């Protein structure tokens, strides 16, 4: 439900969020009360020492105070377990109980302070009694400090602005008032988010690019979050319900009902060849990450293999390669690619906002000049990722709508300037004039590589791009169609990044709001079952998530997100899951690059299983990635080492790939 209103402001915690912390405190308090009672019963005969009367009074009052606190916490837990996320009616007494609980902290603090003072100055009793009292004082202060930290965590800087409207229903606000409310919230939210981002990224320099990225990121977050009043636990419950709902739909779907987009015989014919090329060029995309990924993939032997390169100073061999900040990256790059020093033209690990590391190498096996762009590995890269608004590109191609993700297009333009203005590509092709240009990258690097290949298409008509796990929100529709001629994207399983864009995030928010609004179970049951389901699996059909018969009369507090999205006719909100998604003009729908090869897992490997996942490869349409899928592997499927293992498995299981010649797939342009 929306956050609770206490002391005239909204907090980032709901009245049904107190079940688990309440149970924890109740458990500790009961143990504490039993321990103090045991101490008092066992040693009350030994309290005739100097200061013993004080200790006896202290323990007696503490037992009474703890009993009152235990009863209050028990009442809070019982009330918090009532109702559902959107039905807070049974929990209407929660605010009063919390006021009582907070008021009890005052005598507890006073009594803990007095106990500490008496122990320090006035008591000379049995050592066991004194140690027991010291333990009670320490526990008292630990709980008090923990409560203060919790209050700081759940403090919502926007709460003072949102509290007066937290319980307003749509019919209490006309269209103009509701619009003014949302505009005010978005303005305040943008300022708050920018402050948060600057604090988290305080170690990054404050150049012009960084300031622009801060503003862009704050605008994105405020646009996405300001029209909902969900607390974090609501989102967690919504994601849990969506995962179960998604699995239930898939389990109940007949095989013939599964949608399949057939790309045609011409694409099927070169699937093996392109898989072979993807497998080969993935080593360059991985090498661009440098030593961190290499050590991660080889935890026991990696450091020994490249340690010498890290420790020794730059040698004449390194001077053959132009670049900066090589450090021990070069050794890992050589190990990953299997190339020699002389095969590299340029390696750069210069890393700033909108400026990505990259390498240029000569691949003699495939007769190609390879440009590999690194993916996300730093705060600067995250800022580049989250500069998600669309910008128009000045491209020399016959495409009407040349727009793309702003941050990634800026990064691609930086690499383009380095390649052309610094003469890096000219140097590479002077060494191998008959070779063709291949551009690769993973994640953020895949998006930059796709845009870079479009920028270089005019001067290098035969350029090829292999984009591994690229972001969905990258290209306009026309650029997406144009990129199919020379770009192949590879997506593994449920990887969230190729499904991630502002449009799909808005769709995810819509689905979370809908599933929460229709859920007939209390939040603590949703989260408990969800944890069990994620860890051990189960039958998703055993946990109903819809109100019986669609009856929503129990929804005493509709979600602000539903109100505002319905009131303003948000194009991204509809109760029909088949409705087309749209976005504000600043965030139009964007698409992944090129033709897409999807590696799908066969069956399931289970939550805790040594079973090695098996994958099948197929050509897929971009529409199969227009919705974020929830699952345990939605993040791990994006990791480059997992992708490399999956590629190894797929290529090994396809005998046809063994006979694929180096030129076969790389030189096929789809028109």
> Catalytic amino acids?
443, 495
Q: Can you tell me the distance from the alpha carbon of 456 to that of 439, in angstroms, rounded to the nearest whole number?
A: 10
Residue pair 2/235 in contact (Cβ under 8 Å)? The answer is no
User: Is the sign of the CA dihedral 484, 487, 490, 495 positive or negative?
Assistant: negative
Task: For 105-161, give the secondary structure using H, E and C.
Answer: HHHHHHHHHHHHHHHHHCCCCCHHHHHHHHHHHHHHHHHHHHHHHHHHHCCCCCHHH
Specify the residue for token string 């143990």.
31
Q: Are 431 and 360 in contact (CB under 8 A)?
A: no
The rounded distance, in Å, linking the Cα atoms of 519 and 86 is: 8
Nearest residue to 365 (alpha-carbon basis) of 657, 666, 650, 655: 666
What's the CA gap between 573 and 562, in Å, rounded?
Answer: 8
Tokens for 61? 């009052």
Tell me the C-alpha to C-alpha distance, in Å, between residue 449 and each of 115, 137, 625: 66, 61, 20
In eight-state DSSP terms, residue 201 is T
State how far the Cα of 284 lies from the Cα of 278, in Å rounded to an integer: 10
Helical axes 52-80 vs 19-43, angle rounded to 10°: 160
CB-CB contact of 4 with 15 (8 Å):
yes
Find residue 372's DSSP bridge partners: 359, 440
- Helix (H), strand (E), coil (C) string for 407-425: HHHHHHHHHHHHHHHCCHH
> Which pair of tokens denotes residue 126?
């049995």
HEC string of 60-118 equals: HHHHHHHHHHHHHHHHHHHHHCCCECCECHHHCCHHHHHHHHHHHHHHHHHHHHHHHHH
For 438, phi then psi, to 5°, come to -130, 130
The 8-class DSSP code of residue 551 comes to: -
CA distances from residue 593 to 148, 176, 381, 448, 629 in whole angstroms, order as listed: 49, 41, 20, 10, 20
- Contact of 390 with 586, CB cutoff 8 Å: yes
CB atoms within 10 A of CB 626: 18
567 touches 175 (CB < 8 A) = yes
| Residue 459: both structure tokens together | 């001067």
Q: How far apart are CA 643 and CA 227, in angstroms?
A: 37
Rounded Cα–Cα distance for residues 594 and 473 (Å) = 13
Q: Where are the alpha helices (DSSP H) in 537-661?
A: 560-567, 640-652
- Lookup: tokens for 348: 């750069």
Q: Is 553 helix (H, G, I), strand (E, B) or coil?
A: coil
β-strand 487-492 against 464-468: which pairing, if any?
A: parallel
Tokens for 483, please give them: 């990129």
* CA nearest to 115, candidates 103, 130, 104, 125: 130
Question: What is the full DSSP assignment across 161-181?
Answer: HHGGGTT--GGGS-HHHHHHH
């Amino acid at each position: 439900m929306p956050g609770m209103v206490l002391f005239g402001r909204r907090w980032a915690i709901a009245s049904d969020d107190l079940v688990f912390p309440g149970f924890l405190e109740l458990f500790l308090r009961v143990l504490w009360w039993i321990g103090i009672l045991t101490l008092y019963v066992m040693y009350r005969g030994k309290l005739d020492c100097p200061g013993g009367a004080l200790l006896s009074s202290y323990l007696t009052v503490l037992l009474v105070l703890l009993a009152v606190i235990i009863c209050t916490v028990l009442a809070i837990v019982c009330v918090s377990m009532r109702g559902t996320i959107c039905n807070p009616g049974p929990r209407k007494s929660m605010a009063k109980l919390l006021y009582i609980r907070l008021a009890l902290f005052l005598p507890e603090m006073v009594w803990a302070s007095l106990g500490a003072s008496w122990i320090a100055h006035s008591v000379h009793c049995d050592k066991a009694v004194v140690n027991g009292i010291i333990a009670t004082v320490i526990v008292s202060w630990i709980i008090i400090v923990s409560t203060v930290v919790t209050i700081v965590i759940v403090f919502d800087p926007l709460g003072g602005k949102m509290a007066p409207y937290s319980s307003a229903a749509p019919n209490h606000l006309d269209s103009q008032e509701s619009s003014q409310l949302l505009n005010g919230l978005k303005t305040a939210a943008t300022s708050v988010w920018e402050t948060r981002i600057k604090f988290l990224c305080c170690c990054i320099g404050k150049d012009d690019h960084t300031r622009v990225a801060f503003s862009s990121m704050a605008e994105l977050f405020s646009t996405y979050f300001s029209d909902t009043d969900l607390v974090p636990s609501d989102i967690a419950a919504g994601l849990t319900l969506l995962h179960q709902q998604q699995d239930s739909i898939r389990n109940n779907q007949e095989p013939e009902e599964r949608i399949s987009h057939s790309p045609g015989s011409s694409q099927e014919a070169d699937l093996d060849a392109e898989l072979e090329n993807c497998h080969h060029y993935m080593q360059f995309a991985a090498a661009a990450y440098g030593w961190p990924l290499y050590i991660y993939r080889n935890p026991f032997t990696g450091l020994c293999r490249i340690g010498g390169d890290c420790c020794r100073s730059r040698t004449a061999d390194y001077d053959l390669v132009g670049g900066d900040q090589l450090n021990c990256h070069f050794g890992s790059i050589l190990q990953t690619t299997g190339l020699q020093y002389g095969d590299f033209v340029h390696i750069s690990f210069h890393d700033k906002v909108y400026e990505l590391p990259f390498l240029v190498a000569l691949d003699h096996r495939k007769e190609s000049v390879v440009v590999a762009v690194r993916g996300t590995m730093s705060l600067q890269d995250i800022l580049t990722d989250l500069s998600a608004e669309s910008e128009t590109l000045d491209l020399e191609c016959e495409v009407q709508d040349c727009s793309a993700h702003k941050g990634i297009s800026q990064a691609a333009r930086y690499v383009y300037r380095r390649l052309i203005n610094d003469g890096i590509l000219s140097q590479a092709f002077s060494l191998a004039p008959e070779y063709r240009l291949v551009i690769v990258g993973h994640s953020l690097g895949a998006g930059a590589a796709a845009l870079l290949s479009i920028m270089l298409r005019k001067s290098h008509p035969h350029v090829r791009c292999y984009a591994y796990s690229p972001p969905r929100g990258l290209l306009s529709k026309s650029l997406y169609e144009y990129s199919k001629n020379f770009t192949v994207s590879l997506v593994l399983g449920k990887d969230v990044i190729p499904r991630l864009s502002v449009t799909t995030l808005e769709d995810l928010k819509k689905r979370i709001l809908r599933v929460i609004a229709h859920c007939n179970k209390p939040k603590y049951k949703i989260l408990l079952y969800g944890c069990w389901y994620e860890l051990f699996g189960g039958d998703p059909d055993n946990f109903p998530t819809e109100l019986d018969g669609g009856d929503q009369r129990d929804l005493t507090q509709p979600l602000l997100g539903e109100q505002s999205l319905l009131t303003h006719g948000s194009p991204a909100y509809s109760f029909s899951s088949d409705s087309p998604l749209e976005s504000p003009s600043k965030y139009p729908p964007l698409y992944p690059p090129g033709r897409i090869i999807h590696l799908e897992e066969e069956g399931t490997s289970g939550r805790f299983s040594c079973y090695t996942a098996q994958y099948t490869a197929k050509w897929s349409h971009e529409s199969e990635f227009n919705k974020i899928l929830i699952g345990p592997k939605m993040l791990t499927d994006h990791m480059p080492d997992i992708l490399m293992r999956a590629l190894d498995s797929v290529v090994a299981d396809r005998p046809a790939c063994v006979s694929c010649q180096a030129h076969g797939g790389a030189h096929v342009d789809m028109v």
